[in-house]
Amino acid sequence: MKKNQVKKLALAGMFCAIAVVGSLFSFPVFGSKCAPVQHMVNILCAVLLGPWYGLGVAFATSLIRNLLGLGSLMAFPGSMFGALLCGLVYKKTKNLPLTLVGEVGGTSVLGGLCAYPVAVLLMGKSASDIAFYAYIFPFFISTAAGAIISGILVFTLKKCGVLSKMQNGLK
Protein backbone atom coordinates (compact mmCIF):
# COMPACT_ATOMS: atom_id res chain seq x y z
CA MET A 1 0.00 0.00 0.00
CA LYS A 2 2.72 2.47 0.96
CA LYS A 3 4.69 1.75 -2.22
CA ASN A 4 1.73 2.77 -4.38
CA GLN A 5 1.29 6.00 -2.43
CA VAL A 6 4.94 6.84 -3.08
CA LYS A 7 4.44 6.13 -6.79
CA LYS A 8 1.38 8.36 -6.89
CA LEU A 9 3.13 11.16 -5.02
CA ALA A 10 6.15 10.95 -7.33
CA LEU A 11 3.91 11.05 -10.40
CA ALA A 12 2.01 14.00 -8.93
CA GLY A 13 5.32 15.81 -8.43
CA MET A 14 6.30 15.10 -12.04
CA PHE A 15 2.95 16.43 -13.22
CA CYS A 16 3.52 19.61 -11.17
CA ALA A 17 6.91 20.05 -12.82
CA ILE A 18 5.46 19.49 -16.30
CA ALA A 19 2.68 22.01 -15.67
CA VAL A 20 5.06 24.64 -14.27
CA VAL A 21 7.50 24.28 -17.16
CA GLY A 22 4.57 24.07 -19.57
CA SER A 23 3.31 27.43 -18.31
CA LEU A 24 6.24 28.99 -20.15
CA PHE A 25 4.22 28.13 -23.26
CA SER A 26 1.24 30.35 -22.53
CA PHE A 27 -0.58 33.03 -24.45
CA PRO A 28 -2.73 35.99 -23.39
CA VAL A 29 -6.44 36.05 -24.18
CA PHE A 30 -8.50 39.00 -22.92
CA GLY A 31 -6.47 39.63 -19.78
CA SER A 32 -6.04 35.98 -18.89
CA LYS A 33 -2.86 33.98 -19.33
CA CYS A 34 -3.87 30.74 -21.02
CA ALA A 35 -1.71 27.71 -20.23
CA PRO A 36 -3.09 24.63 -22.03
CA VAL A 37 -0.41 22.34 -20.56
CA GLN A 38 -2.03 22.78 -17.13
CA HIS A 39 -5.30 21.42 -18.48
CA MET A 40 -3.54 18.52 -20.14
CA VAL A 41 -1.98 17.69 -16.77
CA ASN A 42 -5.39 17.97 -15.07
CA ILE A 43 -6.81 15.30 -17.34
CA LEU A 44 -3.79 13.03 -16.98
CA CYS A 45 -4.10 13.34 -13.19
CA ALA A 46 -7.80 12.50 -13.39
CA VAL A 47 -7.13 9.37 -15.41
CA LEU A 48 -4.06 8.15 -13.53
CA LEU A 49 -4.28 9.53 -9.99
CA GLY A 50 -7.86 10.54 -9.22
CA PRO A 51 -9.68 13.74 -8.36
CA TRP A 52 -7.96 14.61 -5.09
CA TYR A 53 -4.45 14.23 -6.44
CA GLY A 54 -5.56 16.25 -9.47
CA LEU A 55 -6.85 19.02 -7.23
CA GLY A 56 -3.61 18.97 -5.22
CA VAL A 57 -1.47 19.11 -8.36
CA ALA A 58 -3.54 22.01 -9.72
CA PHE A 59 -3.19 23.93 -6.43
CA ALA A 60 0.55 23.25 -6.08
CA THR A 61 1.19 24.17 -9.70
CA SER A 62 -0.79 27.41 -9.38
CA LEU A 63 1.09 28.30 -6.21
CA ILE A 64 4.52 27.58 -7.74
CA ARG A 65 3.63 29.49 -10.92
CA ASN A 66 2.61 32.51 -8.86
CA LEU A 67 5.70 32.36 -6.66
CA LEU A 68 7.92 32.22 -9.75
CA GLY A 69 6.02 35.00 -11.51
CA LEU A 70 4.87 32.67 -14.30
CA GLY A 71 1.16 32.99 -13.61
CA SER A 72 -1.47 35.16 -12.03
CA LEU A 73 -4.04 34.57 -9.32
CA MET A 74 -6.33 33.43 -12.13
CA ALA A 75 -4.33 30.19 -12.18
CA PHE A 76 -6.12 29.02 -9.03
CA PRO A 77 -9.75 29.08 -10.22
CA GLY A 78 -8.58 28.45 -13.78
CA SER A 79 -7.12 25.06 -12.95
CA MET A 80 -8.56 23.75 -9.71
CA PHE A 81 -12.24 23.55 -10.68
CA GLY A 82 -11.48 21.70 -13.91
CA ALA A 83 -9.07 19.33 -12.18
CA LEU A 84 -11.60 18.38 -9.53
CA LEU A 85 -14.56 18.08 -11.87
CA CYS A 86 -12.81 16.00 -14.52
CA GLY A 87 -11.34 13.79 -11.79
CA LEU A 88 -14.77 13.17 -10.29
CA VAL A 89 -16.27 12.50 -13.71
CA TYR A 90 -13.57 9.98 -14.59
CA LYS A 91 -13.80 8.30 -11.19
CA LYS A 92 -17.57 7.82 -11.57
CA THR A 93 -17.83 7.01 -15.28
CA LYS A 94 -14.39 5.93 -16.61
CA ASN A 95 -15.55 7.71 -19.79
CA LEU A 96 -12.75 9.69 -21.40
CA PRO A 97 -14.84 12.02 -23.59
CA LEU A 98 -16.98 12.95 -20.57
CA THR A 99 -13.78 13.56 -18.60
CA LEU A 100 -12.60 15.99 -21.27
CA VAL A 101 -15.97 17.76 -21.15
CA GLY A 102 -15.71 17.87 -17.34
CA GLU A 103 -12.34 19.61 -17.59
CA VAL A 104 -13.58 22.12 -20.14
CA GLY A 105 -16.82 22.80 -18.27
CA GLY A 106 -15.23 22.95 -14.84
CA THR A 107 -12.48 25.29 -15.93
CA SER A 108 -14.35 27.53 -18.32
CA VAL A 109 -17.69 27.87 -16.55
CA LEU A 110 -17.00 27.29 -12.85
CA GLY A 111 -13.42 28.57 -12.92
CA GLY A 112 -14.38 31.48 -15.16
CA LEU A 113 -17.19 32.57 -12.86
CA CYS A 114 -15.03 32.20 -9.75
CA ALA A 115 -12.26 34.22 -11.38
CA TYR A 116 -14.44 37.34 -11.26
CA PRO A 117 -14.37 37.77 -7.45
CA VAL A 118 -10.65 36.94 -7.48
CA ALA A 119 -10.07 39.71 -10.02
CA VAL A 120 -12.21 42.24 -8.17
CA LEU A 121 -11.30 41.45 -4.56
CA LEU A 122 -7.69 40.29 -4.80
CA MET A 123 -6.31 41.82 -7.98
CA GLY A 124 -7.90 45.25 -7.64
CA LYS A 125 -9.84 45.16 -10.90
CA SER A 126 -12.80 47.50 -11.05
CA ALA A 127 -16.12 45.68 -10.92
CA SER A 128 -17.47 48.07 -13.53
CA ASP A 129 -14.61 47.32 -15.93
CA ILE A 130 -15.25 43.60 -16.28
CA ALA A 131 -18.39 41.51 -16.54
CA PHE A 132 -18.88 38.62 -14.14
CA TYR A 133 -18.58 36.21 -17.07
CA ALA A 134 -15.49 37.88 -18.60
CA TYR A 135 -13.12 34.98 -17.90
CA ILE A 136 -15.29 32.18 -19.28
CA PHE A 137 -14.19 32.61 -22.91
CA PRO A 138 -10.42 32.88 -22.27
CA PHE A 139 -10.56 29.91 -19.90
CA PHE A 140 -12.54 27.98 -22.51
CA ILE A 141 -9.86 28.55 -25.15
CA SER A 142 -7.08 27.45 -22.81
CA THR A 143 -8.82 24.37 -21.49
CA ALA A 144 -10.12 23.29 -24.91
CA ALA A 145 -6.56 23.33 -26.27
CA GLY A 146 -5.31 21.32 -23.28
CA ALA A 147 -8.22 18.88 -23.56
CA ILE A 148 -7.47 18.23 -27.22
CA ILE A 149 -3.80 17.57 -26.48
CA SER A 150 -4.55 15.26 -23.56
CA GLY A 151 -7.39 13.56 -25.41
CA ILE A 152 -5.03 12.60 -28.22
CA LEU A 153 -2.41 11.44 -25.74
CA VAL A 154 -4.76 9.40 -23.55
CA PHE A 155 -6.63 7.85 -26.49
CA THR A 156 -3.28 6.81 -27.99
CA LEU A 157 -2.12 5.31 -24.69
CA LYS A 158 -5.42 3.48 -24.36
CA LYS A 159 -5.30 2.13 -27.91
CA CYS A 160 -1.75 0.83 -27.38
CA GLY A 161 -2.75 -0.85 -24.10
CA VAL A 162 -0.30 1.26 -22.10
CA LEU A 163 -2.95 3.23 -20.18
CA SER A 164 -4.38 0.20 -18.37
CA LYS A 165 -0.86 -0.95 -17.44
CA MET A 166 -0.09 2.48 -16.02
CA GLN A 167 -3.36 2.55 -14.08
CA ASN A 168 -2.81 -0.96 -12.72
CA GLY A 169 0.73 -0.05 -11.63
CA LEU A 170 -0.69 2.73 -9.47
CA LYS A 171 -3.36 0.65 -7.71
pLDDT digits (tens, 9 = 90+) for 53-108: 999 999 999 999 999 988 888 889 989 999 999 999 999 999 999 999 999 999 99
Q: What angle do CA 145, 130, 59 make, to 5 degrees?
A: 50
User: Minimal CA–CA distance to 134: which of 74, 84, 86, 85?
Assistant: 74
Mean pLDDT, the chain, rounded, equals 90
Rounded CA gap, 132 and 116, in Å?
5
- φ and ψ at residue 124, rounded to 5 degrees: 75, 20
- pTM for this predicted structure: 0.89
